[in-house]
Amino acid sequence: MASEGQKVVLITGCSSGIGLRIAVMLANDEKKRYYVIATMRDLKRKDRLLEAAGDTYGKTLALQTLDVCDDESVKQCVDSVKDRRVDVLINNAGIGLLGPLESIKMEDMKKVFDTNFFGAVRVIKEVMPDMKRRRAGHIIVMSSVMGLQGVVFNDVYTASKFAIEGFCESLAVQLLKFNVVVSMIEPGPVHTEFEVKMMEDVAKMEYPGVDADTVRYFKDVYLPSSTDIFEAMGQTPEDVARCTKKVME
Ligand code: NDP
């Protein structure tokens, strides 16, 4: 349980990548300023987090199940927090979807929006009333550079990040008078399972009905240059965790 003076931080999507690293970094804060509730949709995936977290589990780190696509799971998780007091919410859970619109299934597009947009909105909706009542809180959303700039064959992922950016811009204005701050983090490429999955998607990609110029551009220009960008500028999840911690301070 959080002790006096500690901020309760609830983070979504902590089984891997950026979410895992934020949880580990905050739980290991040298001044013990944070009590981290690291959530994931399947606690069977907890081992990597626990291994990285050192001896913080049960002290400054707690685990909870939370599937951002499931209303009941979100409610149960927030209800399980003492007095429903979440000082900082970090909406990190997200999925990608790469491919030409012609070959992407409608259900997969909806899943991206249900996770990246409605997933964040669901958790925000659950914690926001208590933050407003307490007149304190910080809502952080892991957006992306693709929340600012469109990229070929990333139409739906980009749209989901633009959507959450717009939502947060609007919410931030409304919450300011309640002393609740809304922040967005917009990382460029980060080396996580997300990148691995993208590369798997590329290997399986089909281009039915896509014009030859676009396919050529994607294969000969976009893919090699994005691989170079990843190599030259790709950040580690620790870099993004450090940035997130700074935003909280
Ligand atoms: P990972 O794939 O490593 O992590 C994504 C996390 O989201 C996993 O823990 C995954 O859990 C979780 N997740 C997915 N769906 C749900 C769900 N329905 N409910 C709860 N958790 C879920 O990728 P990253 O760490 O890279 O991604 C984290 C965030 O950063 C995402 O929002 C992504 O869009 C954003 N981002 C990533 C960039 C990159 O290059 N990697 C660049 C810019 C932004 P599970 O283990 O259950 O699948």
> Strand, coil or helix: what is 40?
strand
What atom of ligand 1 comes closest to residue 73's alpha carbon?
19
What atom of ligand 1 comes closest to residue 115's alpha carbon?
18
Query: Does ligand 1 lie within 6 Å of residue 190's CB atom?
Result: yes
Q: Tell me 27's DSSP state.
A: H
- Of 11, 1, 4, nearest in space to 138 by CA: 11
Q: Which two tokens stand for residue 134?
A: 């307490």
Q: Whose CA is nearest to atom 45 of ligand 1?
A: 15
Q: What is the ipTM of this complex?
A: 0.99
**DSSP assignment of 123-190:** HHHHHHHHHHHHT-EEEEEE--GGGTS--TT-HHHHHHHHHHHHHHHHHHHHHGGGTEEEEEE----B
Domains of the chain in start order, with CATH, are 7-244 (3.40.50.720)
Catalytic positions: 157
Query: Does ligand 1 lie within 6 Å of residue 151's CB atom?
Result: no
Q: Annotation-wise, does 231 bind a ligand? A: no
22 CA distance to ligand 1 centroid (A)? 12
With residues binned 3-state (H G I as helix, E B as strand, rest as coil), the percentages for the chain, rounded to 5, are 55, 15, 30
* 60/219 Cα distance (integer angstroms): 46
* 72/130 Cα distance (integer angstroms): 18
Q: Annotation-wise, does 35 bind a ligand? A: yes
- Of 23, 5, 6, nearest in space to 14 by CA: 23
Query: Does ligand 1 lie within 6 Å of residue 67's CB atom?
Result: yes
What pLDDT score does 1 carry?
A: 87
What pLDDT score does 61 carry?
A: 98
Q: Tell me 58's DSSP state.
A: T
- In one-letter notation, the amino acid at residue 74 is V
Query: Does ligand 1 lie within 6 Å of residue 19's CB atom?
Result: yes
Query: Does ligand 1 lie within 6 Å of residue 95's CB atom?
Result: yes
pLDDT tens for the chain, 249 residues: list them. 889 899 999 999 999 999 999 999 999 999 999 999 999 999 999 999 999 999 999 999 999 999 999 999 999 999 999 999 999 999 999 999 999 999 999 999 999 999 999 999 999 999 999 999 999 999 999 999 999 999 999 999 999 999 999 999 999 999 999 999 999 999 999 999 998 998 898 999 999 999 999 999 999 999 999 989 988 999 999 999 999 999 999
**How many other C-beta atoms can be found within 10 angstroms of the C-beta atom of residue 58?**
8
Pocket test for ligand 1, best of 190, 233, 236 (most atoms within 8 A of CB): 190
Query: Does ligand 1 lie within 6 Å of residue 45's CB atom?
Result: yes
**DSSP assignment of 75-120:** HHHHHTSGGG--SEEEE-------S-GGG--HHHHHHHIIIIIHHH
What pLDDT score does 35 carry?
A: 98
Q: Annotation-wise, does 27 bind a ligand? A: yes
